[in-house]
Amino acid sequence: MFKKILLQLLVVVVFTVSSVYAFEFSLTPSYSYTLSKDIEKVDYLGARMSFLIPTEDNKSINYGPYVGIFYNYKLLEQAHVQEQAGISLGLHMKYCANIIQNFYFVISAFGGVHTEDFFKNFNTEISVNAGLGYNNYFLMVGYETRYYPNEFTVNYLPITIGVSFQF
């Protein structure tokens, strides 16, 4: 119980402090399609929120913490997880390069942990996406690997339509 409260307090403090210094808020909802042929489809829906700050040497690279929520509607049916919804936490790095005027190329990487049992167990998630953006909106496709309990690993193709607000 104490561990759960401490972790929630830590998340609130990190996002409060980072939002004060953040230059970009990014919201990235996605649908992740299962790539593995050996297992049944275990697609999921999710969204990540990030507070990003630019690096000191290059203003086109931003990084910061993210928190995400996701809905495992197929993993629950196959008894790989105990809950339908889960939470993810980690580091988000984003690179943007202008192409023409308001059009830009974007590469985004997420690395962190996810939990389906309210912070009792943590499992690794890694996602790399690339795409195009216009003004505050972007469309990305990438590759994601998620590890689940009992050595169950799934590779996904995340399709993301996101929005970012710069301060």
Give the DSSP letter string of 99-133. EETTEEEEEEEEEEEEESSSSSS-EEEEEEEEEEE
Domain at 2-166, CATH class: mainly beta
pLDDT score of 118: 77
Neighbours of 158 (CB within 10 A): 21
How far is the C-alpha of 163 from the C-alpha of 166, rounded, in Å? 10
pLDDT digits (tens, 9 = 90+) for 78-134: 666 667 788 899 999 999 999 999 999 999 999 999 887 777 888 899 999 999 999
Q: How confident is the model at residue 2 (pLDDT cuts 50, 70, 90)?
A: low
Average pLDDT over residues 136-159: 89
**Whole-model pTM?**
0.81
Helix (H, G, I), strand (E, B) or coil at 25: strand
Rg value, the chain, Cα:
16
Neighbours of 9 (CB within 10 A): 10
How far is the C-alpha of 135 from the C-alpha of 123, rounded, in Å? 34
How far is the C-alpha of 33 from the C-alpha of 156, rounded, in Å? 5
- Of the CA atoms within 13 Å of residue 111, those in its CB half-sphere come to 4
Backbone angles phi, psi at 83, to 5 degrees: -125, 155
Q: How confident is the model at residue 56 (pLDDT cuts 50, 70, 90)?
A: confident
